[in-house]
Structure formats: structure tokens, C-alpha cells
Amino acid sequence: MNLFDTMASMEHEQVVFCSDPNSGLRSIIAVHNTALGPGIGGVRMWPYPDEQTALNDVLRLSQGMTYKAAIAGVNFGGAKSVIIGDPARHKTEALLRAHGRFVQSLAGRYIPGVDVGTSQADMDVLAVEAKRVFSGTGDPSPLTALGVLESIRAAVEFVDGSPVLEGRRIAVQGAGHVGEPLIRHLAQEGAKLVISDVDRTKVERLAVDLPVEVVDPDEILGVDCDVFAPCALGAVVDDASIPALRCRIVAGGANNVLAEPRHAVALADAGILYVPD
């Protein structure tokens, strides 16, 4: 990848590579657009297989945040950051504070929040070093899940003429910050749920409380269902997965569900209604 050419084509303003050997921090901050205000976007911590994958993710995520902030009509731009590492093994206070210092070095151009692999408690740690952090405000994920629920309801009504979710078979990929509350909402609506997560303990815990069917992560894309709700990582809809889909609607909370914009056309050609994240 030629980074400057890619930044120009995706219209990014700034990309910062951060390294702190003492804490083990390796992170990337991408500021996409600050025309409407400082860039907002979560801090994602994930064991990316390589730096290129991490860079691709942060560029796509930050670009998406610009559009989301603009559509919402708020005075913010788009940005994002990723920390390379397993949050269950590598996350420490020293690592988070080091990332916070890099955030602070941008002088308010980027305001971080919660994302995959981080929590509100982690944002409180970042706030020790960075002046502008979405911390101490409560977890926004349940509200995101509520938005996804209403999106699913609207999509079902568009396809079938009725917003009723009772008896609908819905496959939810991911049982994390957004996936879990969405699953609970759908269960209350009487939907027939099939769920999966790379962390098997999350779905097994839900299966104790709720009438759900648990499948392995590599099976969820092919589940015969009314709605496929991706709520984990992005880029799950691609050339390989579209032929495997057995749903009528794709509507979830994951960022950047499509691997490429052209896959929206491919979904339409397959007769599948797509609700953008």
C-alpha cells in the first residue's frame, strides 16, 4: 500500500503510528475529517494478524465515522484508533495510558470512546493522560443495540409489510457490547434466535437465560434465516460469503459490514435487503 495515495483516495487528514516499547503499545490513530468538528471514534483493541490489516481497519472505520457524524447532524468529524494486541492478555494500565498520551498529542483533534476490546473503564484510564475522552458517561452500546433493533423492525416491515418480529428467525453474529443487548431485545420480541461468538462463553451464558440456538462462528453466515445481524467485526459480506448467505435481510451493528462498496450491489442482485451500519 502507498499510504499517501491511500490517504488521498480515502480523504484522510492524518494517520499517526504510535509505539511505546515500555508498555508494549503498538497503535494507529486515523483522523479522517474534521470539517464539522473534532473527530470522534472508538478505540478498538484486537489481535490483528499484521500491521497492514490493522491499518486497513482503522482507515475504513475512521472514514465511516465521518459519514455517521454528518448524517446524525452533530458537530463532530470522524476518527478512530486501533491497538494491536489481545485485550484479554495484553491490555494493561500502562499500555492504555501510553495510548492516551498519543491521543493527547493530537490536541483535541481526536476524541476516543469505547469499541471492540475496550470498555468505559479503559476510557477512564485514557482520560488520565488525554483531556478529551468520552469517559464516565455510561456504555452507549445498549442504545446502539436499540437502534439496530428498530432497523431490523423497519427492514422486516419493508420486506413483508409487518414489523412484527415474533417468530422471525434471526441470526446474530457476535454477543459483545452490542450483540448481547440486541439478542436480549430480540428474545423479548419473540424472535427465533441463532447466535455465535468467537468467545464461546458469551453465547453459552446467554443460552442459560434465553431460548437461543448456539452455532460455531464459521456456521453463522450460512444459517437459513429471515435476518442476518452482524455485530462483530466488519468486512463479513464479501465475494466468498454472499453466495453462502441464506437470509432476506442483512442488518446489524458491526462497522463496515461490506468488504467493498460494490458488495451492496451484489446483495441487491442476490435479492437481499441491506441496511447500512
Name the residue among 52, 55, 63 with its Cα closest to residue 82.
Answer: 55
- Residue 228, H or E segment: strand 227-230
- Counted residue by residue, the chain has a size of 277
56 CB contacts (<8 Å, ≥6 apart)?
Answer: none
Beta-carbon neighbour count of residue 132 at 10 Å?
18
Identity of the residue numbered 46: W
Q: How far apart are CA 82 and CA 97, in angstroms?
A: 14
How far is CA 187 from each of CA 23, 178, 184, 206, rounded to the nearest angstrom? 42, 14, 5, 11
Question: CA-based Rg of the chain, rounded to a whole angstrom?
Answer: 19
Instruction: Please tell me whether residue 83 adopts helix, strand or coil conformation.
Output: strand
Is 80 designated active site? yes
Active-site residue, from 68, 80, 131, 202: 80
Active centre residues (catalytic): 80
